[in-house]
């Protein structure tokens, strides 16, 4: 789960913040990993884990071009896992955000097609419209009738 830089952590019986714990790490704690492919390429960052107990970690991500650009995660597992596994799971968070994006697009398509007010007896009609309508609207917005001829 992504957390803020001020997220409280308990280290050696003392409370600290995620950003302060990350700043206290030595250079060898940071490892270079990709956490999945992006739109153009893999997303590589420096990563470090901070063990909180046997099944709980804080994960810090640092940007290569800007080392002050940090992001933090709180990680739980049912067993001990290594840094590569924590990074892989942190990268899967993007998949969840894509699902949320599609949910928003679905709602927008229903609103644009004025189907939000109608109740259909079968949900597949609404799903079909929600898939077809945005594609048709994009086609119309591209104005294919006024494109120059090929050749």
Q: Note whether 32 and 88 are same-domain residues.
A: yes
Give the structural domain span for 102: 96-146
Q: Note whether 66 and 112 are same-domain residues.
A: no
Q: Could you count the other beta carbons within 10 Å of the beta carbon of residue 22?
A: 23
- On whether the pTM is more than 0.85, the answer is no
pLDDT tens digit string along 32-86?
988 766 556 677 889 999 989 888 888 999 988 888 888 888 888 888 888 888 8
Helix (H, G, I), strand (E, B) or coil at 122: coil
pLDDT the model gives residue 80: 86
Q: Note whether 104 and 77 are same-domain residues.
A: no
Domain boundary among 93, 111, 132: 93
Q: Residue 93 is inside which H or E element, if any?
A: helix 83-112
Per the domain annotation, does 151 fall within a domain? no
Q: What is the DSSP letter of 57?
A: E
**60-88 exposure pattern, b = at least 16 Cβ within 10 A, e = fewer:** bbbeeeeeeebbbbebeeeeeeebeebbe
Total count of domains within the chain:
2
Q: What share of the chain is helix, strand, coil (3-state, %, to 5)?
A: 40, 30, 30
pLDDT tens digit string along 81-114?
888 888 888 777 655 555 666 667 777 766 666 5
């Amino acid at each position: 789960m992504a957390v803020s830089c001020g997220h409280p952590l308990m280290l050696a019986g003392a409370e600290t913040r995620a950003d302060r714990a990350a700043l206290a790490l030595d250079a060898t704690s940071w490892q270079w990993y990709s956490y999945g492919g992006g739109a153009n390429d893999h997303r590589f960052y420096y990563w470090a884990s901070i063990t909180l107990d046997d099944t709980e970690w804080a994960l810090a991500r640092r940007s290569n071009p800007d080392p002050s650009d940090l992001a933090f995660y709180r990680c739980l597992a049912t067993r001990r896992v290594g840094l590569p596994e924590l990074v892989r799971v942190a990268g899967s968070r993007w998949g969840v955000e894509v699902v949320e994006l599609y949910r928003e697009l679905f709602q927008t398509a229903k609103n644009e097609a004025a189907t939000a007010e109608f109740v259909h007896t079968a949900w597949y009609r609404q799903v079909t419209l929600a898939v077809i309508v945005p594609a048709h609207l994009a086609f119309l917005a591209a104005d294919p009738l006024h494109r120059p001829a090929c050749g």
